[in-house]
Protein backbone atom coordinates (compact mmCIF):
# COMPACT_ATOMS: atom_id res chain seq x y z
CA UNK A 1 0.00 0.00 0.00
CA UNK A 2 2.84 2.43 0.84
CA UNK A 3 4.42 1.70 -2.54
CA UNK A 4 1.16 2.63 -4.27
CA UNK A 5 0.81 5.77 -2.14
CA UNK A 6 4.38 6.85 -2.89
CA UNK A 7 3.81 6.39 -6.61
CA UNK A 8 0.54 8.37 -6.50
CA UNK A 9 2.03 11.22 -4.47
CA UNK A 10 4.96 11.48 -6.87
CA UNK A 11 2.55 11.71 -9.82
CA UNK A 12 0.59 14.52 -8.15
CA UNK A 13 3.43 16.57 -6.67
CA UNK A 14 6.22 16.04 -9.20
CA UNK A 15 4.32 15.30 -12.41
CA UNK A 16 1.33 17.64 -11.88
CA UNK A 17 -1.24 14.87 -12.01
CA UNK A 18 -4.82 15.64 -10.94
CA UNK A 19 -5.24 14.07 -7.54
CA UNK A 20 -8.74 12.64 -8.07
CA UNK A 21 -7.74 11.02 -11.35
CA UNK A 22 -4.47 9.69 -9.90
CA UNK A 23 -6.24 8.15 -6.89
CA UNK A 24 -8.92 6.51 -9.02
CA UNK A 25 -6.35 5.09 -11.45
CA UNK A 26 -4.16 3.86 -8.59
CA UNK A 27 -7.00 2.03 -6.86
CA UNK A 28 -7.75 0.17 -10.09
CA UNK A 29 -4.16 -1.10 -10.31
CA UNK A 30 -4.13 -3.15 -7.15
CA UNK A 31 -6.66 -5.09 -5.11
CA UNK A 32 -6.90 -3.51 -1.66
CA UNK A 33 -9.17 -4.11 1.29
CA UNK A 34 -11.69 -1.43 2.25
CA UNK A 35 -9.42 -0.41 5.14
CA UNK A 36 -6.38 -0.21 2.85
CA UNK A 37 -8.29 1.92 0.34
CA UNK A 38 -9.25 4.38 3.07
CA UNK A 39 -5.69 4.44 4.39
CA UNK A 40 -4.23 4.94 0.92
CA UNK A 41 -6.64 7.77 0.10
CA UNK A 42 -6.04 9.54 3.41
CA UNK A 43 -2.24 9.37 3.02
CA UNK A 44 -2.26 10.65 -0.58
CA UNK A 45 -4.70 13.47 0.14
CA UNK A 46 -3.03 14.32 3.43
CA UNK A 47 0.51 14.54 2.06
CA UNK A 48 -0.55 16.50 -1.04
CA UNK A 49 -2.80 18.81 0.97
CA UNK A 50 -0.06 19.59 3.52
CA UNK A 51 3.00 19.60 1.25
CA UNK A 52 4.31 23.06 2.19
CA UNK A 53 3.85 22.42 5.92
CA UNK A 54 5.55 19.02 5.72
CA UNK A 55 8.46 20.57 3.85
CA UNK A 56 8.78 23.23 6.56
CA UNK A 57 9.15 20.46 9.16
CA UNK A 58 11.62 18.60 6.92
CA UNK A 59 13.84 21.55 6.07
CA UNK A 60 16.21 21.45 9.11
CA UNK A 61 16.97 17.78 8.45
CA UNK A 62 17.63 17.89 4.70
CA UNK A 63 18.99 21.41 4.23
CA UNK A 64 21.61 21.43 1.47
CA UNK A 65 20.61 18.01 0.17
CA UNK A 66 19.08 17.45 -3.26
CA UNK A 67 16.75 14.53 -2.82
CA UNK A 68 15.14 12.47 -5.53
CA UNK A 69 11.32 12.65 -5.52
CA UNK A 70 10.82 9.16 -4.09
CA UNK A 71 13.07 9.99 -1.12
CA UNK A 72 11.48 13.34 -0.33
CA UNK A 73 7.98 11.95 -0.75
CA UNK A 74 8.82 9.02 1.52
CA UNK A 75 9.85 11.51 4.19
CA UNK A 76 6.65 13.51 3.66
CA UNK A 77 4.60 10.33 4.07
CA UNK A 78 6.49 9.51 7.27
CA UNK A 79 5.88 12.88 8.92
CA UNK A 80 2.22 12.93 7.92
CA UNK A 81 1.61 9.38 9.18
CA UNK A 82 3.53 9.98 12.45
CA UNK A 83 1.79 13.19 13.47
CA UNK A 84 -1.52 13.37 11.59
CA UNK A 85 -2.70 9.76 11.54
CA UNK A 86 -3.40 7.04 14.06
CA UNK A 87 -0.88 4.44 12.86
CA UNK A 88 1.86 2.74 14.86
CA UNK A 89 5.04 4.76 14.25
CA UNK A 90 7.34 1.74 14.10
CA UNK A 91 5.16 0.15 11.42
CA UNK A 92 5.25 3.30 9.27
CA UNK A 93 9.01 3.70 9.72
CA UNK A 94 9.85 0.07 8.88
CA UNK A 95 7.50 0.04 5.88
CA UNK A 96 9.03 3.17 4.36
CA UNK A 97 12.64 2.14 5.01
CA UNK A 98 12.03 -1.31 3.49
CA UNK A 99 10.28 0.27 0.50
CA UNK A 100 13.17 2.65 -0.26
CA UNK A 101 15.78 -0.04 0.42
CA UNK A 102 14.51 -2.04 -2.58
CA UNK A 103 15.75 0.62 -4.97
CA UNK A 104 18.24 2.70 -2.96
CA UNK A 105 20.09 1.19 0.01
CA UNK A 106 21.94 4.43 0.80
CA UNK A 107 18.68 6.38 0.51
CA UNK A 108 16.98 4.02 2.96
CA UNK A 109 19.59 4.95 5.59
CA UNK A 110 18.80 8.64 5.07
CA UNK A 111 15.04 8.01 5.39
CA UNK A 112 15.61 5.95 8.54
CA UNK A 113 17.87 8.57 10.13
CA UNK A 114 15.72 11.61 9.31
CA UNK A 115 12.45 10.03 10.40
CA UNK A 116 13.93 8.72 13.65
CA UNK A 117 15.28 12.21 14.41
CA UNK A 118 11.90 13.82 13.74
CA UNK A 119 10.15 11.24 15.93
CA UNK A 120 12.62 11.91 18.71
CA UNK A 121 12.52 15.71 18.51
CA UNK A 122 8.87 16.24 17.53
CA UNK A 123 7.44 19.02 15.38
CA UNK A 124 8.28 22.65 15.99
CA UNK A 125 5.71 25.44 15.89
CA UNK A 126 5.50 27.35 12.59
CA UNK A 127 7.15 30.73 13.15
CA UNK A 128 8.18 33.21 10.47
CA UNK A 129 8.28 37.01 10.53
CA UNK A 130 5.81 37.55 7.67
CA UNK A 131 2.19 36.82 8.71
CA UNK A 132 1.02 35.87 5.20
CA UNK A 133 4.02 33.58 4.73
CA UNK A 134 3.20 31.95 8.07
CA UNK A 135 -0.37 31.29 6.90
CA UNK A 136 0.99 29.96 3.60
CA UNK A 137 3.10 27.41 5.50
CA UNK A 138 0.58 26.59 8.21
CA UNK A 139 -2.24 25.83 5.75
CA UNK A 140 -0.07 24.81 2.77
CA UNK A 141 -1.11 27.32 0.12
CA UNK A 142 1.06 28.98 -2.50
CA UNK A 143 2.05 32.37 -1.09
CA UNK A 144 0.65 34.08 -4.21
CA UNK A 145 -2.81 32.63 -3.47
CA UNK A 146 -2.65 33.80 0.15
CA UNK A 147 -1.66 37.30 -0.95
CA UNK A 148 -4.43 37.38 -3.57
CA UNK A 149 -7.10 36.26 -1.09
CA UNK A 150 -5.81 38.69 1.54
CA UNK A 151 -6.34 41.54 -0.92
CA UNK A 152 -10.09 40.88 -0.93
CA UNK A 153 -10.74 39.05 2.35
CA UNK A 154 -8.28 40.23 5.03
CA UNK A 155 -10.72 39.52 7.88
CA UNK A 156 -11.95 36.17 6.54
CA UNK A 157 -8.56 35.00 5.24
CA UNK A 158 -7.60 32.42 7.86
CA UNK A 159 -11.13 30.98 7.90
CA UNK A 160 -10.94 30.48 4.12
CA UNK A 161 -7.51 28.83 4.35
CA UNK A 162 -8.21 26.53 7.27
CA UNK A 163 -8.40 22.87 6.40
CA UNK A 164 -12.06 22.04 6.82
CA UNK A 165 -12.52 19.46 9.53
CA UNK A 166 -15.40 17.01 9.57
CA UNK A 167 -16.15 17.65 5.91
CA UNK A 168 -19.33 15.83 4.97
CA UNK A 169 -20.51 14.47 1.63
CA UNK A 170 -23.41 16.42 0.15
CA UNK A 171 -26.14 14.54 -1.70
CA UNK A 172 -28.98 15.93 -3.80
CA UNK A 173 -32.22 13.97 -3.90
CA UNK A 174 -33.52 13.49 -7.43
CA UNK A 175 -37.07 14.54 -6.70
CA UNK A 176 -38.32 13.55 -10.15
CA UNK A 177 -37.52 9.94 -9.22
CA UNK A 178 -38.52 9.76 -5.57
CA UNK A 179 -40.30 11.79 -2.89
CA UNK A 180 -38.06 13.33 -0.23
CA UNK A 181 -39.88 11.65 2.67
CA UNK A 182 -39.70 8.28 0.95
CA UNK A 183 -35.93 8.58 0.42
CA UNK A 184 -35.33 9.52 4.07
CA UNK A 185 -37.45 6.58 5.22
CA UNK A 186 -35.28 4.24 3.13
CA UNK A 187 -32.10 5.71 4.62
CA UNK A 188 -33.50 5.23 8.12
CA UNK A 189 -34.38 1.63 7.34
CA UNK A 190 -30.80 0.97 6.21
CA UNK A 191 -29.39 2.69 9.34
CA UNK A 192 -27.57 5.35 7.30
CA UNK A 193 -26.65 8.41 9.35
CA UNK A 194 -27.47 11.70 7.65
CA UNK A 195 -28.37 15.35 8.29
CA UNK A 196 -31.47 16.28 6.22
CA UNK A 197 -32.03 19.71 4.62
CA UNK A 198 -35.13 19.43 2.41
CA UNK A 199 -33.97 18.05 -0.97
CA UNK A 200 -30.33 17.62 0.08
CA UNK A 201 -28.64 15.85 2.95
CA UNK A 202 -25.17 15.60 4.44
CA UNK A 203 -23.53 12.35 5.44
CA UNK A 204 -20.10 11.05 6.38
CA UNK A 205 -20.90 7.92 4.44
CA UNK A 206 -19.86 7.51 0.81
CA UNK A 207 -22.97 6.27 -0.96
CA UNK A 208 -21.85 6.10 -4.61
CA UNK A 209 -21.71 2.29 -4.47
CA UNK A 210 -25.20 1.97 -3.02
CA UNK A 211 -28.57 1.37 -4.67
CA UNK A 212 -29.51 4.98 -3.92
CA UNK A 213 -26.83 6.34 -6.22
CA UNK A 214 -26.85 3.56 -8.81
CA UNK A 215 -30.63 3.78 -9.26
CA UNK A 216 -30.53 7.56 -9.66
CA UNK A 217 -32.33 8.41 -6.44
CA UNK A 218 -29.49 10.62 -5.23
CA UNK A 219 -26.38 12.22 -6.67
CA UNK A 220 -23.23 13.69 -5.15
CA UNK A 221 -23.35 17.49 -5.57
CA UNK A 222 -22.17 20.33 -3.35
CA UNK A 223 -24.76 22.70 -1.88
CA UNK A 224 -23.32 25.73 -3.69
CA UNK A 225 -23.39 23.92 -7.02
CA UNK A 226 -27.02 22.94 -6.40
CA UNK A 227 -27.88 26.55 -5.64
CA UNK A 228 -27.15 27.58 -9.25
CA UNK A 229 -30.09 25.59 -10.66
CA UNK A 230 -32.30 26.49 -7.69
CA UNK A 231 -31.73 30.20 -8.33
CA UNK A 232 -32.39 29.77 -12.05
CA UNK A 233 -35.68 28.08 -11.05
CA UNK A 234 -36.60 26.77 -14.52
CA UNK A 235 -40.19 26.26 -15.62
CA UNK A 236 -41.49 23.00 -16.98
CA UNK A 237 -40.86 22.69 -20.74
CA UNK A 238 -38.10 25.35 -20.71
CA UNK A 239 -35.40 25.17 -23.38
CA UNK A 240 -32.02 25.54 -21.64
CA UNK A 241 -28.46 25.98 -22.92
CA UNK A 242 -25.64 24.90 -20.58
CA UNK A 243 -22.51 26.39 -22.16
CA UNK A 244 -19.84 24.59 -20.07
CA UNK A 245 -21.70 21.58 -18.82
CA UNK A 246 -19.27 18.80 -17.84
CA UNK A 247 -19.45 16.78 -15.67
CA UNK A 248 -23.19 17.48 -15.97
CA UNK A 249 -24.31 18.12 -12.38
CA UNK A 250 -26.14 21.33 -13.22
CA UNK A 251 -27.58 20.06 -16.52
CA UNK A 252 -29.04 17.08 -14.67
CA UNK A 253 -30.32 19.22 -11.80
CA UNK A 254 -32.06 21.60 -14.22
CA UNK A 255 -33.61 18.65 -16.07
CA UNK A 256 -34.78 17.20 -12.75
CA UNK A 257 -36.34 20.50 -11.66
CA UNK A 258 -38.25 20.54 -14.96
CA UNK A 259 -39.53 17.02 -14.16
CA UNK A 260 -37.72 15.68 -17.24
CA UNK A 261 -39.88 17.86 -19.51
CA UNK A 262 -38.42 20.39 -21.97
CA UNK A 263 -34.84 20.40 -23.30
CA UNK A 264 -31.32 20.93 -21.97
CA UNK A 265 -28.53 21.40 -24.53
CA UNK A 266 -25.20 20.63 -22.85
CA UNK A 267 -21.93 21.76 -24.46
CA UNK A 268 -18.34 20.74 -23.84
CA UNK A 269 -15.08 20.65 -25.78
CA UNK A 270 -14.12 17.12 -24.73
CA UNK A 271 -15.88 13.98 -25.95
CA UNK A 272 -15.00 11.95 -22.85
CA UNK A 273 -16.61 14.62 -20.64
CA UNK A 274 -19.78 14.53 -22.69
CA UNK A 275 -19.86 10.78 -22.06
CA UNK A 276 -19.84 11.51 -18.32
CA UNK A 277 -22.91 13.72 -18.80
CA UNK A 278 -24.69 10.98 -20.74
CA UNK A 279 -23.84 8.42 -18.04
CA UNK A 280 -25.18 10.69 -15.30
CA UNK A 281 -28.36 11.44 -17.25
CA UNK A 282 -28.97 7.74 -17.88
CA UNK A 283 -28.36 6.88 -14.23
CA UNK A 284 -30.85 9.54 -13.14
CA UNK A 285 -33.43 8.54 -15.80
CA UNK A 286 -33.26 11.88 -17.63
CA UNK A 287 -33.82 11.84 -21.38
CA UNK A 288 -34.16 15.57 -22.21
CA UNK A 289 -30.40 16.28 -22.17
CA UNK A 290 -28.80 16.70 -25.60
CA UNK A 291 -24.98 16.88 -25.66
CA UNK A 292 -22.94 18.74 -28.27
CA UNK A 293 -19.18 18.70 -28.81
CA UNK A 294 -18.23 22.34 -29.27
CA UNK A 295 -16.18 25.16 -27.77
CA UNK A 296 -18.51 27.50 -25.85
CA UNK A 297 -16.78 30.55 -27.35
CA UNK A 298 -17.60 29.30 -30.86
CA UNK A 299 -21.15 28.03 -30.32
CA UNK A 300 -23.66 29.36 -32.83
CA UNK A 301 -27.34 28.65 -33.34
CA UNK A 302 -30.52 30.08 -34.86
CA UNK A 303 -32.32 28.92 -31.74
CA UNK A 304 -32.89 31.15 -28.73
CA UNK A 305 -33.24 29.73 -25.22
CA UNK A 306 -35.36 30.44 -22.14
CA UNK A 307 -32.25 29.99 -20.00
CA UNK A 308 -28.54 30.19 -20.83
CA UNK A 309 -26.18 29.02 -18.09
CA UNK A 310 -22.53 30.07 -18.33
CA UNK A 311 -20.85 28.12 -15.53
CA UNK A 312 -17.43 29.15 -16.75
CA UNK A 313 -13.91 27.73 -16.18
CA UNK A 314 -12.31 29.61 -13.30
CA UNK A 315 -9.43 29.76 -10.83
CA UNK A 316 -11.20 27.31 -8.50
CA UNK A 317 -10.42 29.33 -5.37
CA UNK A 318 -13.76 28.24 -3.91
CA UNK A 319 -13.12 24.51 -4.20
CA UNK A 320 -9.53 24.13 -3.01
CA UNK A 321 -10.70 22.23 0.09
CA UNK A 322 -11.23 19.15 -2.09
CA UNK A 323 -9.15 20.00 -5.17
CA UNK A 324 -5.84 20.22 -3.37
CA UNK A 325 -3.86 20.41 -6.63
CA UNK A 326 -5.08 24.02 -6.97
CA UNK A 327 -3.42 25.09 -3.71
CA UNK A 328 -0.02 25.27 -5.39
CA UNK A 329 -0.98 26.93 -8.68
CA UNK A 330 0.16 30.47 -9.51
CA UNK A 331 -3.39 31.74 -9.86
CA UNK A 332 -2.44 35.43 -9.76
CA UNK A 333 -0.23 35.00 -12.84
CA UNK A 334 -3.05 33.34 -14.80
CA UNK A 335 -5.98 35.52 -13.74
CA UNK A 336 -5.90 37.65 -16.91
CA UNK A 337 -6.13 34.69 -19.26
CA UNK A 338 -8.86 33.15 -17.07
CA UNK A 339 -11.04 36.28 -17.08
CA UNK A 340 -10.52 36.75 -20.82
CA UNK A 341 -11.99 33.31 -21.47
CA UNK A 342 -14.83 33.93 -19.01
CA UNK A 343 -15.79 37.15 -20.78
CA UNK A 344 -15.75 35.44 -24.18
CA UNK A 345 -18.08 32.67 -22.99
CA UNK A 346 -20.46 35.10 -21.27
CA UNK A 347 -20.56 37.38 -24.32
CA UNK A 348 -21.31 34.49 -26.65
CA UNK A 349 -23.90 32.98 -24.35
CA UNK A 350 -25.74 36.29 -24.06
CA UNK A 351 -26.53 36.16 -27.79
CA UNK A 352 -28.85 33.16 -27.42
CA UNK A 353 -31.24 34.34 -24.69
CA UNK A 354 -34.87 35.01 -25.54
CA UNK A 355 -36.40 38.36 -24.59
CA UNK A 356 -37.49 37.96 -20.98
CA UNK A 357 -35.19 34.95 -20.62
CA UNK A 358 -32.51 34.19 -18.06
CA UNK A 359 -28.73 34.52 -18.42
CA UNK A 360 -26.99 32.95 -15.42
CA UNK A 361 -23.26 33.37 -14.77
CA UNK A 362 -21.51 31.26 -12.14
CA UNK A 363 -18.02 30.29 -10.98
CA UNK A 364 -16.51 28.23 -8.17
CA UNK A 365 -14.17 31.17 -7.50
CA UNK A 366 -14.28 33.86 -4.83
CA UNK A 367 -12.04 36.33 -6.67
CA UNK A 368 -14.02 39.51 -7.57
CA UNK A 369 -12.13 39.91 -10.87
CA UNK A 370 -13.83 36.71 -12.05
CA UNK A 371 -17.19 37.57 -10.54
CA UNK A 372 -18.89 40.84 -9.60
CA UNK A 373 -16.31 43.06 -11.32
CA UNK A 374 -16.61 41.02 -14.51
CA UNK A 375 -20.42 41.24 -14.39
CA UNK A 376 -20.27 44.98 -13.77
CA UNK A 377 -18.17 45.38 -16.93
CA UNK A 378 -20.55 43.12 -18.89
CA UNK A 379 -23.64 45.11 -17.85
CA UNK A 380 -22.07 48.39 -18.96
CA UNK A 381 -21.89 46.90 -22.47
CA UNK A 382 -25.28 45.18 -22.25
CA UNK A 383 -27.92 47.45 -20.69
CA UNK A 384 -30.57 45.01 -21.98
CA UNK A 385 -29.63 42.73 -19.06
CA UNK A 386 -30.55 43.42 -15.44
CA UNK A 387 -29.52 41.52 -12.31
CA UNK A 388 -32.36 39.66 -10.62
CA UNK A 389 -30.25 37.86 -8.00
CA UNK A 390 -26.56 37.93 -7.13
CA UNK A 391 -24.93 35.85 -4.42
CA UNK A 392 -21.42 34.99 -3.27
CA UNK A 393 -20.63 32.13 -0.89
CA UNK A 394 -17.33 31.67 0.91
CA UNK A 395 -16.06 28.09 1.44
CA UNK A 396 -16.90 26.27 4.67
CA UNK A 397 -16.92 22.62 5.73
CA UNK A 398 -20.50 22.39 4.38
CA UNK A 399 -20.18 24.26 1.09
CA UNK A 400 -17.81 25.35 -1.65
CA UNK A 401 -17.08 28.98 -2.42
CA UNK A 402 -19.27 30.12 -5.31
CA UNK A 403 -20.51 33.16 -7.21
CA UNK A 404 -23.92 33.15 -8.92
CA UNK A 405 -25.52 35.98 -10.88
CA UNK A 406 -28.97 35.58 -12.46
CA UNK A 407 -29.77 38.22 -15.10
CA UNK A 408 -32.96 38.86 -17.05
CA UNK A 409 -32.89 40.04 -20.66
CA UNK A 410 -35.15 43.06 -20.95
CA UNK A 411 -35.60 43.03 -17.19
CA UNK A 412 -36.25 46.14 -15.16
pLDDT at residue 201, as a whole number? 95
pTM beyond 0.85: the answer is yes
Residue 35: which residues within 8 A CB-CB, separation 6 or more?
Answer: none
Enumerate the β-bridge partners of residue 405: 361, 390
Is the preceding omega at residue 247 within 30 degrees of 0, hence cis? yes
Question: Phi-psi bin for 17: left (phi > 0), alpha (psi -120 to 50), beta?
Answer: beta
pLDDT at 350 over 90: yes
pLDDT at 322 over 70: yes
pLDDT at residue 32, as a whole number? 81
pLDDT at residue 163, as a whole number? 67
pLDDT at 343 over 60: yes
- Averaged pLDDT, 161-173: 81
Summarised one tens digit per residue, pLDDT across range 110-119 is 988 999 999 8
pLDDT at residue 285, as a whole number? 95
Nearest one of 309, 311, 407 to 364, comparing CA atoms: 311
Summarised one tens digit per residue, pLDDT across range 56-91 is 999 999 887 888 888 999 999 999 999 988 888 888
Candidate from 29-38, 194-203, 216-225, 360-369 with smallest mean pLDDT: 29-38
pLDDT at residue 89, as a whole number? 85
pLDDT at residue 382, as a whole number? 96
Q: How confident is the model at residue 103 (pLDDT cuts 50, 70, 90)?
A: confident
Amino acid sequence: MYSLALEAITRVINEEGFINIVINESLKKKTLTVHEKKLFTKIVYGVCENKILLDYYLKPYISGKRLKPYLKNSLRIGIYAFFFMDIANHYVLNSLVDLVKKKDFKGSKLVNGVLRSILREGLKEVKVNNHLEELSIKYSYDLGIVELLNKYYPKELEGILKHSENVLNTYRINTHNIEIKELYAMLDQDNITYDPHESLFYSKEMLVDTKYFKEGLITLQDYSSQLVSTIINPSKDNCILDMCSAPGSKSCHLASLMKNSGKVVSLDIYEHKLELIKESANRMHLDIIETRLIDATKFNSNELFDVVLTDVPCSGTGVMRHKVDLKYKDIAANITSITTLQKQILENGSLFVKDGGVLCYSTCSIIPLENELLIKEFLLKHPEYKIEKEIKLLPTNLQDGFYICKMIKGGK
